A and B are shown apart, each in its own frame.
Chain A
Amino acid sequence: MGKPVVCLDQVVIRFAGDSGDGMQLTGDRFTMDTASLGNDLSTLPNYPAEIRAPQGTLPGVSSFQLHFADHLIQTPGDAPDILVAMNPAALKANIRDLPRGATIIVDRDEFTTRNLSKVGYATNPLEDGSLESYKVHAVGLTSLTVAALAQLSLSRKEAERSKNMFALGLLSWMYHRPTEATENFLKAKFGKKPEILQANLLAYKTGWNYGETSEDFAVSYKIAPAKMPAGKYRNISGNVALAYGLIAASQQSGLKLFLGSYPITPASDILHELAKQKKFGVITFQAEDEIAAVGSALGASYGGALGITTTSGPGLALKSEMIGLGVMLELPLIIIDVQRGGPSTGLPTKTEQADLLQAMFGRNGESPVVVLAPSTPSDCFDMAIEAARIATTYRVPVFLLSDGYIANGSEPWKIPDVSTLPDLAVEFAKTQEDFLPYLRDPKTLARPWAIPGTKGIEHRIGGVEKADKTGEISYDPTNHDLMVRARAAKVAGIDIPDLVVDDPSGKAEVLLLGWGSTYGPIAAAVELLRANGEDVAQAHLRYINPFPKNLAEVLQKYPKVIVPEMNLGQLSMLLRAQFLKDVIGYNMVRGLPFTTTEIIEATMEVLND
């Protein structure tokens, strides 16, 4: 009321605090309210592996970044325009990412001598002039929250817990976010605890009112809705999209969905989501270990279900032998690897793409599998359906390589019309005389899916090499050679779409070729490069084994091919080996997605070479 309103085309906000401060929840709520306004958006949660690291320390800092705009965007943004820091640790951990001129909102109450020294601040940055090049709002988030809740019979500690809602209220005022959805969310979440509900609602409202009345905040901002294709939208993360895609595949195929899984970060949310969906007949089996998880999925597939296992890198290492059995048995199996930093335990909550070669080759013997990689959170839905189509059509293990970035990141998703989803009907082997369990379909090279309970086709299969057609044990040298080549030919011949190249001029000399989750930063970089008059082409691999049939031709067309990957060059290695193309790798393993700037700089280097 009365305060000026400034219109912006995009904003990047980062909420940062102690891992117990509720920053992920705050970010999630701001995201939902932003989505409902029709802005395009992209999010990047970033949290420590420790559930509660010591309070107020650098390792305990958790953050949530949100980029929203009045136009289509591809990434959560390189650098925040505004940082909300709930304590000195959050400020210190994030300040280096802030461009000069950025806005910082801090909880002044947390900048005590003790908290400052905990993170190595000799002097108070709010007072020593070190933040001069930023717009700093030092707000007593804790004391204002506690004062606002004084009327309730809460302890100080309980009252303090609502300070994240104060911050959310303040930011919601600043950016004109609607409040109704968050209020409803709080009512649903704390409906059974009226005191806590009241505290959260009150803190939220007080934060909003503080923005409106305090002289500290002179302007608020509006971001118009983005122009997006018409339709109904929701916000979705990669893990939820994967779970939904699997359910859709189960519905479209008429196959029972069986998930065998062992909890592991950052894949567990797929298990959590599917465990909620029993009304779809979904069975989730939390197995005793990673091996049992994939073993049970393979057993379910043998029985005619859609067998799926979800994991991350270390878990995948344990599953190798069972996946090899899946290759030998030629049964459908979906293996979802939500990649994280490795090797070993590595960086459990950070993103990386370094399991590509493990997926391709991490088994004994010649053991070909299909490898797919979704490119964005919402693409996880489509690729889950693709994984099911390929696994059930070709009776082969299919890997889906997601990663921490798109698994936890979210974006608006135009909800698909279910009548447009592909028909995934499968055909099981029927009762017949002289059944041959390893007789291949001439077109797909798949063997019959012959499930127990079918009269007259009783047969025995196993991990020992199979004789062609009969499937009996065979140690014959010629047969082994034949079968090894048949399994490889089956995977090589899988029907997948050609690689689409985005090259508006048709004359670009440099191609940016990515795979999986790097799509966002690469696409954003390409957009900016072209806006600056640079001619670059872009293509993105969602199918890695087999590669699209036109890939050789695409690689040949461009003199320079840059391959950005969050690993030390695994796709580059495959491309060089298979196509003898000396691609230019751009590689980083910092546990974070590429920034747009990084990709632009790497591309400029090649363009200027």
Chain B
Amino acid sequence: MTENVLTKKDFTSDQEVKWCPGCGDYSILATMQSFLPELGIPRENIVFISGIGCSSRFPYYLNTFGMHSIHGRAPTIASGLAISRPDLSVFVITGDGDALSIGGNHLIHSLRRNIELKILLFNNRIYGLTKGQYSPTSEQGKITKSSPTGSLDLPFNPISLALGAEASFVARTVDTDRKHLTETLRAASAHKGSAFIEIYQNCPIFNDGAFDLLKDSDTKGAALLQMVHGEPIKSATHGLVHDGASLKLVELATVAESDLVVHDAHNPDPAYAFALSRLSASELDHVPVGIFRDVVRPGYSSLVNNQITEIIAAQGAGDLATLLAGGDTWMVE
């Protein structure tokens, strides 16, 4: 208990992990447990709050404070906690159904306010815990138990949605790429306001292989467009060039390296990050991964607490007796 340097073991709880064999959540959990010691934050100051769904079991397996709340509402609980306890590091663990369907409203408003939350959306493009219905990120036409003749819903693009909600940090990564996931977590943790990370995550039971294109060694090189701040955006085969106000994919062989778009995650214009987010939809042939946007904007809880501090500095702390006796008063003898 007195050791200062924490290890992965310190962040592993005594609970038996109960995801299906082969679930992408295992890899994300292991990466998180390995990453947390690096933050240098005491375990008791870290809180994981989740909603409902397979991914939302995550907090049970971390030896920090944690809450497995109700469907879609984790950002609300996390917001109240983060605003009233700015000393804590608060993570939200959510899934595509939890964050984008039942809890869509809370996700966008947390991002808009820039509340100091790290929001990890495990996107497996399916409802797993309820045994296989289409989700708000399932591709159109998907055959599931609740869409035997094909889903009619146009899916959300979670990155576009987060950017539209004025998010100040938006990134995408893949469950099994532990190095990339760790780097993304590191950058998100360094960010002062809301950080939104979409993690493509495999569901081996109800949507197995959904992201194989991004994982198989013979396809992933071409499919993953790496976004690294200050470097050209490209995959093994393609690169990104400016096309008027927009962006366009071209084969690397057809352009000079110097013509490629050099990634600027700090670009103040959200239209740039939005254009990047539109390069891929349901199909995964060219998928940008990395940080779309990372801009500085004051965090909500610091704004809330600054207002209070300033008012107390200017007017002094409130006095209850004075408050109660305020307004028009009279004496009865």
Interface residues of A (CB under 8 A from B): 32, 35-38, 181, 225, 228-235, 244, 247-248, 251, 256, 258, 260, 277-283, 285, 287-289, 291-305, 307, 321-322, 324-325, 329, 414-416, 418, 452-464, 472-473
Contact = CB atoms under 8 A, between A and B. Distances in A.
By CB atoms of chain B within 10 A, which of A225, A231, A296, A298 has the most? A296
B80 A258 contact: yes
B206 to A, nearest CB: 21
Contact of B13 (A35, A233, A291, A460): A460
Contacts of B333: 230
Contacts of B321: 418
Given A234-B325, A283-B83, A296 B332 contact: no
A295 B76 contact: yes
Task: Give the interface SS of chain A, mostly helix, strand, loop or mixed.
Answer: mixed
Nearest to B71: A321
Contact of A418 (B44, B65, B70, B324): B324
Nearest to B52: A463
A458 B85 contact: no
29 contacts: A36-B328, A38-B330, A181-B328, A228-B332, A229-B332, A234-B324, A234-B326, A234-B327, A234-B330, A247-B320, A256-B84, A260-B80, A277-B318, A283-B308, A288-B105, A292-B73, A292-B109, A295-B73, A300-B83, A303-B81, A305-B80, A305-B84, A321-B70, A321-B73, A322-B73, A416-B324, A461-B67, A463-B70, A473-B60
B83 A258 contact: yes
Contacts of A231: 331-332
Contacts of B60: 460, 462, 473
B8 interface: no
Interface residues of B, number: 59
A460 B331 contact: no
B109 A296 contact: no
Interface stretch (B22-30, B151-159, B183-191, B309-317): B309-317
A359 B64 CA distance: 34
A366 B11 CA distance: 35
Contacts of B323: 244, 247, 277, 280
B79 interface: yes
A248 B1 CA distance: 39
B43 interface: yes
Nearest to B112: A288
Contacts of A298: 77, 80
Interface in B56-113: 59-60, 63-70, 73, 75-85, 87-88, 105-106, 109
Given A300-B84, A460-B67, 13 more contacts: A181-B328, A231-B332, A233-B331, A279-B311, A279-B312, A287-B79, A296-B77, A299-B49, A303-B88, A415-B329, A452-B81, A458-B64, A460-B13
B45 interface: yes
B49 to A, nearest CB: 8
Contacts of A325: 69-70
B15 interface: yes
A248 B88 CA distance: 27
Contacts of A302: 67, 77, 80-81
Contact of B80 (A37, A277, A281, A295): A295
B282 interface: no
Given A233-B331, A472-B15, A452 B45 contact: yes
A232 B325 contact: yes
Nearest to A281: B308
Contact of B332 (A233, A300, A305): A233
A32 B328 contact: yes
B80 A307 contact: yes
A28 to B, nearest CB: 11
A292 B325 contact: no
B44 A303 contact: no
Contacts of A473: 60
A459 B59 CA distance: 9
A294 B324 CA distance: 27
B63 A458 contact: yes
Nearest to A421: B320
Contacts of B140: none
Contact of B69 (A36, A234, A278, A462): A462
Interface string B102-136: 00011001000000000000000000000000000
B150 interface: no
B172 to A, nearest CB: 25
Nearest to A456: B1
B239 to A, nearest CB: 40
Given A232-B331, A452-B88, A459-B65, A296 B324 contact: no
Given A297-B80, A415-B324, A416-B324, A35 B308 contact: no
A307 B333 CA distance: 39
A378 to B, nearest CB: 11
B329 A233 contact: yes
Contact of A283 (B70, B78, B84, B109): B84
A462 B80 contact: no
